[in-house]
Amino acid sequence: MIAADIISDGLFAAVAAMGFGSISDPPMRAFKYIALLAALGHAARYCLMTFLGVDIASASFVAAFIIGTGSVWAGKKVFCPMTVLYIPALLPMVPGTYAYKTVFSLIMFLQGISSPTQGSEYLQAMIFNGAVSFSVIFMLAVGATVPVFLLREKANSMTRGSRYI
Amino acid sequence: MEQKNVVEIADFIARYLSYMLGAGVHTSRVVRNSKRLGDALGVDVSIHTSQKTATLTVMDRVGHVKDTRVLDIPVFPISFEWNADLSALSWAAYDRNMTLDEVKTKFEELVSKPKMNPVFVLFMASLANASFCRLFGGDIWAMLITFAATMIGFFTRQHLARRHVNHYIVFIVSAFVASICASTALTLGLDSAEIALATSVLYLVPGVPLINGVIDITDGHIQIGISRLVNALMLIVCIAIGMSGTLMLVKDSLL
C-alpha cells in the first residue's frame, strides 16, 4: 500500500510537470526526462515528509538536489541546458496555495482590522503562509543549483556539440 | 577590425541577447552565452542587464574599436526551446568557427521554428492541474471538475493574451473564470470540493520567474533577481484577487 502511494505520487507529479512545463514551450525531446526527474523528486519529498517527518522546506531542498543532479546526467543526453530540465521538474513543488493564501490573509486582515483579536490571527496566518512559500521556493531553486556549483565546467557545456541545431 | 564590422557584430549580439532575456532565460546563462558568441567572432562583450533594458558594449581586441548601446528587451512568452537552441548555437559558433553570416542565418532559422500547438498545451495544462488536484488529496470527481475548470480558464487566458490585453487583467480574469467553474463542486456537494476550488487556479502560478529569480540571486545578479520575484509576486496578487472574487460570491470568506 505504501509503495502504491509513493508510485502514484510520482506518477501524478510527472503528469503535472509535463503539463505545467508545456506552457513554457520546452523542446519535445526533453519531456521524458522532465517527467522522470519530477517523479523522482516529488516522490522523494513525499517519502521524507510522510515517513520521516521532515519539514517542507528541507524536504524540498533534498528533492531539488536530486532533480538538479539528475538533470546533469539527462542534460548531456538530450543536449539541453540544466535549467530546461530542472525548472519544469520543480514546478509541481512550487507552493502555489501558500503563495495566494498569503494574499488572502492580508485581505482578511484588512477586513477584520477593527477587531484586534481577529486581526492578529490573520496577520499570523499571513506571516506563516508567506514564510513557507518564500522558503520553499528559495530552497527549491538553491537545491537544484548546488550541482551547478559543484560541477561548473560540466554543467555549463551541456549543449556543446548538440545534434539538434 | 573596422568600426563597420564591430557594429555589425554588436547588432547581432544585441538581437541574440534580447531574445534570450525576453524568453525568460536566467541572467548568468545569457551573459555567458553572449560572451562565448563574442569570443567566437573575435570581440569582447560586456553586458549590464535590468528587467526591461540591457546595456551592451562590444570591443574589438586588436584595434580597440568599440560599440556601446542600450537595448529594449522585448516581451516573448517563456520558451525553453529557445533557451536550449540558442545556447547550442553559441557553442556551435565557438567550436566550428562559424562566420557572422552563418551564425545569423542559423539564428533566424532557430527562432522561426513553430511553437508548440496551443490546443495541445491547453490539454496538457488541464491534465496537469487535474493531477495536481490528486496530489492534494482530491477524488476522481474533484479531478474531473478541476480538469474542466482549468480548460475553460486556460482557454480564456490564451485568448486574452492573443488580443494583447494587459497581463495583470488576463491573470485576474482567468483566475476568476477558473475558480468560478470549479465552485460548481461546492454546488454539487462533493467531499473534496474545497480541494478542487483551491487547485483550479494553480496553472497560473508563475513558477518559472519565481525559480529564475532565486537562481539569479544565487548567481549574484541580485537586482534582476529581485525584479523577477517582484514581477511574479504581482501576478500572484492578481491570481488572489481573481479568486477572491469567486470566494466572496460563493463562500463569504477567503480562508
Residue B64 has pLDDT above 90, yes or no: no
Q: Which residue has the cell 516522490?
A: A43
Of all residues in chain A, the one with the smallest CA distance to B123 is: A19
The answer to whether B234 touches B168, Cβ cutoff 8 Å, is yes
**Distance in Å, alpha carbon of B68 to nearest chain A alpha carbon:** 27
**Best B210, B218, B222 residue to mutate vs chain A (most A CBs within 10 Å):** B210
Say yes or no: B117 contacts chain A, CB-CB below 8 A.
no
For chains A and B, what is the number of CB pairs under 8 angstroms? Answer: 183
Q: Is the pLDDT of residue B115 over 80?
A: yes
Residues of chain A neighbouring B137 (CB-CB closer than 8 A): none
What nine digits make up the cell of B113?
521554428
In chain A, which residue's Cα lies nearest the Cα of B23? A24
Here the ipTM equals 0.94
DSSP state of A92: G
Predicted TM-score (pTM) of the model is: 0.94
pLDDT value at position A153? 80
Nearest CA in chain A to B88: A159
Instruction: Give the C-alpha separation, B152 to B211, whole Å.
Output: 27
Which of the four pLDDT bands, split at 50, 70 and 90, describes residue A117? confident
Determine what percent of chain B is predicted with pLDDT higher than 70: 100
Average pLDDT over residues A27-41: 95
Which residue from B137, B135, B173 is spatially nearest to B155, judged by alpha carbons? Answer: B173
Instruction: Kindly state whether B26 is in contact with chain A, defined as any CB-CB distance less than 8 angstroms.
Output: yes
Cβ pair A84, A108 in contact under 8 A: no
In this prediction, residue A65 carries a pLDDT of 97
How would residue A55 be classed by pLDDT, with cut points 50, 70 and 90? very high
pLDDT value at B107 more than 90: yes
Partner A contacted by B252 (CB < 8 A): no
* Mean pLDDT (chain B, rounded): 94
For residue B54, list its beta bridge partners.
B49, B71
d(CA B219, CA B213): 10
Tell me whether B21 touches chain A (CB under 8 Å): no
CB contact at 8 A, A91 and A67:
no
What is the grid cell recorded at A120?
A: 492578529
Contacts (Cβ under 8 Å, ≥6 apart) of B167 = B161, B235
What pLDDT digit, counting tens, does each position of A85-94 carry?
Answer: 999 999 999 9
Is the CB of B81 less than 8 angstroms away from the CB of A140?
no
Task: Give the type of residue at B238.
Answer: C
Residue A1 has pLDDT above 90, yes or no: no
pLDDT for A34 beyond 90: yes
Q: Cell 554588436 belongs to which residue? A: B10
Q: Does residue B255 have a pLDDT over 80?
A: no
